[in-house]
């Protein structure tokens, strides 16, 4: 309210340090390119990395002094810090794998890195948004940057298709979200999550539950689209397949994690009084997402498209944690998204390198006998795939374990059983890649992409360590998630 406006204090600025650093970094990158000219393009990726590391430090600093900022529009709690760190790490890994790809495609430019930074800025806002308008703003900043990234290779038809599809459908879904926000403001007179919660649970308030449910449903459309949950997952395979490989890696990890962050926050705070209304719908959505993702992935021969469907399926597992609607569920979702980010980025990092110039080698069969040529890379790929399957001692296993444990604790026994069976189905298509890499003999095309560049190597090692740590010593991350899962209402 403008009447009792007080200028924000210094500590409030510190709480948005990552956003500030990302915005400044993105802007400097764009200016620097103009000043330095063509010849200095090699320095762009390191520069972007430097800004990301700064922002990572900023997120840690911001997280050390938790609290609300800017009239309670943002709230920097453990939950927000967790997701900020997560998306920033994803950003770093994505930039690491992008350098060699962009050089190969002759698309080196500062815009790319600036867009990644801006997109991360939006996601960082999403992680800490405590108010529906901020949710919308964060979502738009994040999305618009990703729309452009999806079509970054301007001369490529599939890139354009991906971008247009993503943009049109994405805008439509966000419009639903905004409409829902408008209605809820109409009903409750506020956009602040805690106040909405208080209004909806107070015995004195007068409102139509049906109308509020409609608001929740419309916002579900927006969120479900962003996290690629059924029945709004249709865009995902086309976009992830069509977008440049490193962008797909980024999109399946960071924006998705941030969208889940805000999804969970809105539903566990604002709509926590209406659980019995939205839980059945989300139950169906989670189930459908898993089934569609896994069964469609079974039939794919294009490795990117398969990973795209797998990404849909994994969104389904996280949805299970959302349906559980408990602190354990929130913590499980956080843990799952972290481990998914690592294993998925690892897998996409290899694909990014492997597809070669013009993304020629995208069939699963193109990887025939890869283990003979690059035993280490094939072993790492296997490690990520085993994690995606959910074999114990990998991060993916603990992710699934915590998700389904939270579901059992919330008495969702059928969802657990069906979800776990789904994950057994999923084993088949991940195994196909291992089969091809290890059990088939190499062809002439195998390994045409040549040796693996340093950036990709670094990202691979980072992701592999991430998957290992989350799979063998998950305590620290889980503790953090558990402590942060208590969202203040």
Partner 1 sequence: MTLLDIVLFLPLVAFIVILALPKTLSRTLALATSMGIFIVSLGLLAPFLGKPTSAVSFETNLIWIQSPAIRYHISLDGLGLWLLLLSTMLTPLCVLISWNYITDRVKEYYAFLLLLEFGVIGVFVSMDLFLFYVFWEVTLVPMYFLIGIWGHDRRIYATVKFFLYTMAGSVLMLAAILYLYSRAGTFDYPMILQLLSSGRLQLTAAEQLPLFLAFFIAFAIKVPLFPLHTWLPDAHVEAPTAGSVMLASVMLKMGTYGIVRFCLPMFGNAAHQCAPVIIALAIIGIIYGALVALVQPNMKKLVAYSSVSHLGFVVLGIFTFTQQGMDGAVYQMLNHGISTGALFMLVGFLYERNHSLEIKSYGGVANVAPVLSVIFMVTTLASIGLPVLNNFVGEFLVLQGAAIVSWKYAALAGLGVIFSACYMLWLYQRAFFGEAGEGVRHHITDINKRELLAIAPLVILMVWMGTGTSLFLKPITAVNAQILEQSKINVEYQVKAPPAPSAEPAPATTAAVVEVARAR
- The answer to whether 413 contacts partner 1 (rule: CB under 8 A) is yes
Nearer to partner 1, 163 or 328 (CB): 328
Taking the C-alpha atoms of residue 185 and residue 37, their distance in angstroms, rounded to an integer, is: 49
Provide, rounded to whole angstroms, the least separation between the CB of residue 322 and partner 1: 18
Residue 486 touches partner 1, criterion: CB under 8 A:
no
For 79, 213, 267, the CA distances from 273, given in Å and listed in that order, are 21, 11, 9
Smallest distance from partner 1 to CB 409, Å: 5
Q: Which is nearer to partner 1, 100 or 446 (CB)?
A: 446
- Segment contacting partner 1 (CB under 8 A): 85-93, 166-174, 285-293, 398-406? 398-406
Q: Which is nearer to partner 1, 11 or 411 (CB)?
A: 411
CB closer to partner 1, 136 vs 383: 383
Site map for partner 1, 420-439, x if CB under 8 A? xx-xx--xx--x--xx--xx
Size of the site for partner 1 (CB under 8 A): 30
The Cα–Cα gap between 475 and 469 comes to: 9
Q: Does 364 bind partner 1 (CB under 8 A)?
A: no
Q: Does 31 bind partner 1 (CB under 8 A)?
A: no
Of residues 317, 331, 254, 268, the one with CA closest to residue 289:
317
Least distance to partner 1, CB of residue 401, Å: 8
- In the bound state with partner 1, the residue whose beta carbon lies nearer, of 455 and 471, is 471
Among the residue ranges 53-61, 186-194, 343-351, 383-391, the one whose residues contact partner 1 (CB under 8 A) = 383-391
Count CB neighbours of 465 within 10 A: 12
**Taking CB under 8 A as the rule, does residue 478 contact partner 1?**
yes
Residue 19 vs residues 82, 111, 136, 219: alpha-carbon distances, Å: 15, 18, 16, 25
| Least distance to partner 1, CB of residue 90, Å | 25
User: Under 8 Å CB-to-CB from 110, ≥6 apart: which residues?
Assistant: 29, 30, 32, 33, 44
Closest contact distance (angstroms) between CB of 332 and partner 1 is 11
We find the least distance from the C-beta atom of residue 411 to partner 1, in angstroms, to be 8
Q: Which of 364, 401, 442, 453 binds partner 1 (CB under 8 A)?
A: 401
> Which is closer to partner 1, CB of 251 or CB of 485?
485
If the CB atoms of residues 53 and 393 are measured against partner 1, the closer one turns out to be 393
* CA pair distance 232, 247, nearest whole angstrom: 21
Q: Which span sits near partner 1 by CB under 8 A: 95-103, 104-112, 343-351, 390-398?
A: 390-398
The single residue among 73, 274, 391, 448 that binds partner 1, judged by CB under 8 A, is 391
Residues 6+ apart with CB under 8 A from 331: 402, 406, 478, 481, 482, 484, 485
Token pair, residue 106, equals 């002759």
Taking CA atoms, 26 is separated from 20, 98, 206, 486, in Å, by 10, 16, 47, 33
Cβ distance to partner 1 smaller for residue 185 or 401? 401
Q: How far is the CB of 387 from partner 1 (least distance, A)?
A: 12
Footprint (CB under 8 A) of partner 1, residues 436-465: 438-439
Residue 416 beta carbon to partner 1: minimum distance, rounded to whole angstroms: 5
C-alpha torsion angle, residues 262, 264, 265, 266 (rounded to 10): 80
79: alpha, beta or left, given left = phi > 0 and alpha = psi -120 to 50? alpha
- Please, which residue, 61 or 473, has the CB nearer to partner 1? 473
Q: Nearest to residue 383, comparing CAs of 317, 306, 461?
A: 461
Cβ closer to partner 1: 242 or 474? 474
Which pair of tokens denotes residue 175? 């419009």
User: What is the DSSP secondary-structure string of 414-475?
Assistant: HHHHHHHHHHHHHHHHHHHHHIIIIISPP-TTTTTT-SPPHHHHHHHHHHHHHHHHHHH-TH
Please give the DSSP secondary-structure letter assigned to residue 153: S
Q: Where are the alpha helices (DSSP H) in 299-447?
A: 303-324, 327-354, 370-373, 375-389, 395-409, 413-434
**Which residues are at the interface with partner 1 (CB under 8 A)?**
386, 389, 391-393, 397, 401, 404-405, 408-409, 413, 416-417, 420-421, 423-424, 427-428, 431, 434-435, 438-439, 474-475, 478-479, 482
């Amino acid at each position: 309210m403008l009447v009792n406006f007080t200028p924000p204090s210094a500590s409030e600025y510190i709480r948005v340090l990552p956003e500030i650093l990302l915005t400044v970094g993105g802007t400097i990158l764009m200016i620097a390119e103009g000043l330095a000219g063509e010849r200095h393009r090699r320095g762009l990726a390191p520069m972007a990395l430097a800004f990301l590391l700064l922002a990572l430090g900023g997120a840690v600093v911001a997280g050390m002094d938790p609290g609300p900022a800017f009239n309670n529009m943002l709230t920097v709690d453990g939950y927000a810090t967790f997701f900020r760190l997560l998306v920033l790490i994803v950003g770093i890994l994505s930039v690491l794998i992008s350098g060699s790809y962009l050089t190969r495609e002759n698309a080196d430019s500062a815009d790319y890195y600036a867009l990644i930074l801006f997109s991360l800025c939006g996601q960082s806002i999403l992680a800490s948004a405590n108010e529906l308008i901020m949710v919308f703003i964060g979502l738009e900043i994040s999305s618009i940057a990703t729309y452009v990234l999806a079509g970054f290779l301007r001369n490529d038809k599939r890139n354009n298709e991906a971008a247009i599809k993503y943009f049109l459908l994405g805008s439509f879904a966000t419009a639903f979200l905004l409409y829902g926000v408008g209605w809820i403001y109409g009903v409750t007179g506020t956009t602040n999550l805690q106040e909405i919660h208080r209004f909806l649970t107070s015995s004195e308030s007068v409102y139509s539950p049906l109308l509020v449910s409609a608001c929740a449903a419309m916002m579900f459309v927006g969120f479900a689209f962003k996290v690629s949950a059924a029945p709004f997952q249709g865009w995902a395979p086309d976009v992830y397949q069509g977008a440049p490989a490193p962008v797909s890696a980024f999109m399946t990890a960071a924006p998705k994690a941030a969208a889940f962050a805000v999804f969970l926050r809105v539903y566990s705070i604002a709509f926590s009084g209406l659980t019995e209304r939205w839980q059945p719908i989300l139950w169906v959505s989670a189930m459908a997402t898993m089934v569609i993702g896994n069964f469609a992935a079974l039939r794919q021969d294009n490795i990117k498209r398969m990973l795209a469907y797998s990404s849909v399926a994994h969104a389904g597992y996280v949805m299970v944690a959302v349906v559980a609607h408990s602190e354990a569920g929130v913590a499980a979702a956080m843990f799952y998204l972290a481990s998914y980010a690592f294993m998925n980025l690892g897998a996409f990092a290899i694909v990014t390198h492997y597809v070669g110039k013009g993304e020629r080698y995208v069939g699963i069969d193109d990887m025939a006998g890869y283990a003979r040529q690059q035993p280490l890379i094939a072993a790492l790929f296997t490690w990520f795939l085993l994690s995606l399957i959910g074999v114990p001692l990998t991060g993916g296993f603990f992710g699934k374990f915590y998700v389904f444990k939270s579901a059992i604790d919330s008495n969702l026994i059928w969802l657990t059983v069906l979800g776990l069976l789904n994950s057994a189905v999923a084993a088949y298509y991940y195994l196909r890649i291992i089969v091809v890499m290890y059990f088939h003999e190499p062809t002439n095309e195998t390994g045409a992409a040549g040796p693996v560049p340093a950036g990709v190597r670094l990202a691979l090692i980072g992701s592999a360590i991430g998957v290992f740590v989350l799979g063998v010593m998950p305590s620290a991350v889980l503790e953090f998630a558990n402590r942060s899962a208590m969202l203040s209402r």
